A and B are shown apart, each in its own frame.
Chain A
Amino acid sequence: MEKSLNWYEFVITRLIKASGYSAILFVALIFFFLVREGVPALLEANLGSLLNTRWYPIEEHYGILPLITGSLIVTMGATLIAVPFGIGTAIYISEIAPRWMREILKPLVELLGGLPSVVLGFLGILVLSPYLRVLLDLPTGLTAFTGSLLLGGIAVPTVVSVAEDALDAVPRAYREGAWALGATRWQTIWRVTLPAARSGVLTAVMLGIGRAIGETMTVMMVTGNAPVLAIKLGSLFAPVRTMTATIAAEMGEVASGSTHYHVLFFIGMVLFLISLGVNVAASSVVFRTKKRAERILS
């Protein structure tokens, strides 16, 4: 009986160990395939032309700068929305809300995190964009701003969840020390709790940004898909094209192996490296939390 137990346990242990290593395998695999199909773009259309300002694949213009600025402007807008609202909501849930309210709010925020992005994009097209067009008197409602609004909503649950964990993790003794010294609850939040949770809140913001950069469907549906260089302030209220939307929109129509195909993979590679950078930075900000899972979840 002992013998068969040992053999069985040996096999199971091996399988478990192999599963543990699989994450590394997948990252490597993804990177490998992106590079395999993306690097040829550098050869077929040299780096200089890739950094052009004109994206017009039909005439072999593969300048990705407009796409990069498109992603940037939409992400910045989303961050400007998600960060204050996200941190504010996190402060509310963690420091101000009564217990019963907390039990309602947390599931609701988690719900927002679970809403499919295509549904938000859909509402963006049918409801938000016509409304904005009328409200702001624009030629079209499909703009970077519309995208930023929706993207902000998508990134908020990530920010709230991680920031709330960070605030929660601040030891009660810190707050009690401040109260004992005569601080109001508000002063305690701003001068004690928030600074103590600084690294976790920073992580929350970075992960929110990462989420915004990587979003595809919503931006594809509401930002207008015009690959123009978005560097003026007015660009916010004009159509743009993000990197993610470009890949999603054009991949279905390219011939496998063509230059256009390789350039799209190249853009994918760029996105991979950007998200790698953001996530490594976010995790190197030292922050141990019990609920790491929920952070990734939203």
Chain B
Amino acid sequence: MVDKITIENLSVQYADGTESLRDISLGIAEKAISVLFGPAGGGKSTLLRCLNRLNDLTEVKAAAGQILIDGQNILDPQVDVIALRRKVGMVFARPVVLPLSIRGNLTYGLELAGEKRRTKLDEAVERSLKLAAIWDEVKDRLDDPAIALSGGQQQRICLARVLALQPEIILLDEPTSGLDPISTGKVEAALQELKKEYTIILVPHSVQQAGRTADYAAFFLQGELVEYGEGKTLFTAPKEKQTEDYITGRFG
């Protein structure tokens, strides 16, 4: 498996100097689900937001290192951030549907990119809703406000919204934290299908979810990468004691 993303010696700081991530080096395999897990404050969300340069909006700065996606360092100021964000999509912890119709939510990104053709937009809407496994539930009410859907449905709309832009990488930051088990199952099932075509990085909301979904897993503790490996081996026979302690629930 070739690495889609290579993170080299990345250190990230807050504006006041406190460190969020310390010297992280990690390779993310393409077309697989990589899971970043660990207790709160570990820097997982921060790392995710570095990957689509969403941290540009906040007080968090990359102090050292680089992140290579397909060989190109995306932390370089010359990089076209807009194009990057279309290539690297993100699903957030709370389902945030835009105050538009379902169709409007899905076509938002494409319209921003300048796509105006009705046929292309409709095609994208249907394609992405099917990939997010929600087409059948909403196909008759695409012009209804997205806010009218349930939490689980909204989150899958958020996933579809990202997919409409045909990204290469999908980032998910605790996407099922507010959802019931059935909706969670639907999302996880969709991810298993999607990983055939997309590189997926997931921050799970529980160790169990990490265990269920991970092809590869990375354990983060207080800004440092403790251990990284294939999901099967890491969860059954972790190399580091800290990893084992966390997985077995001795701390959390």
> Which A residues fall within an 8 A CB radius of B?
1-2
Contacts and interface: CB of A to CB of B under 8 A. Distances in A.
Contacts of A2: 80, 82
The 3 residue pairs across chains A and B that have the minimum distance between CB atoms: A1-B114, A2-B82, A2-B80
3 contacts: A1-B114, A2-B80, A2-B82
Interface string B60-86: 000000000000000000001010000
B120 to A, nearest CB: 15
Chain B interface extent, by class: under 10
B170 to A, nearest CB: 24
Contacts of B114: 1
Contacts of A1: 114
A10 to B, nearest CB: 14
Interface of B: 80, 82, 114
A268 B71 CA distance: 68
B224 to A, nearest CB: 38
Contacts of B82: 2
A67 B99 CA distance: 56
Contacts of B80: 2
A4 to B, nearest CB: 10
B77 to A, nearest CB: 15
Nearest to A6: B82
A1 B116 CA distance: 13
A2 B83 CA distance: 10
Nearest to B83: A2
A296 to B, nearest CB: 28
A1 B82 CA distance: 13
B108 to A, nearest CB: 16
Nearest to B112: A5
A2 B81 CA distance: 12
B167 to A, nearest CB: 18
B21 to A, nearest CB: 31
Nearest to B82: A2
A65 to B, nearest CB: 54
B83 to A, nearest CB: 9
A186 B82 CA distance: 58
Nearest to B80: A2
A44 to B, nearest CB: 56
B109 to A, nearest CB: 15
A8 to B, nearest CB: 13
A9 to B, nearest CB: 11
A251 to B, nearest CB: 50
A210 B80 CA distance: 52
A2 B82 CA distance: 10
B144 to A, nearest CB: 30
A236 to B, nearest CB: 56
A254 to B, nearest CB: 56
A2 B114 CA distance: 9
A1 B80 CA distance: 14
A3 to B, nearest CB: 12
B70 to A, nearest CB: 20
Nearest to B113: A1
B116 to A, nearest CB: 11
Nearest to A5: B114
A170 to B, nearest CB: 28
A1 B110 CA distance: 13
Nearest to A1: B114
A2 B86 CA distance: 14
B14 to A, nearest CB: 24
A2 B80 CA distance: 10
B79 to A, nearest CB: 13
A1 B114 CA distance: 8
A170 B142 CA distance: 43
B220 to A, nearest CB: 36
B174 to A, nearest CB: 29
B112 to A, nearest CB: 9
Nearest to B114: A1
B106 to A, nearest CB: 21
B117 to A, nearest CB: 14
A260 to B, nearest CB: 57
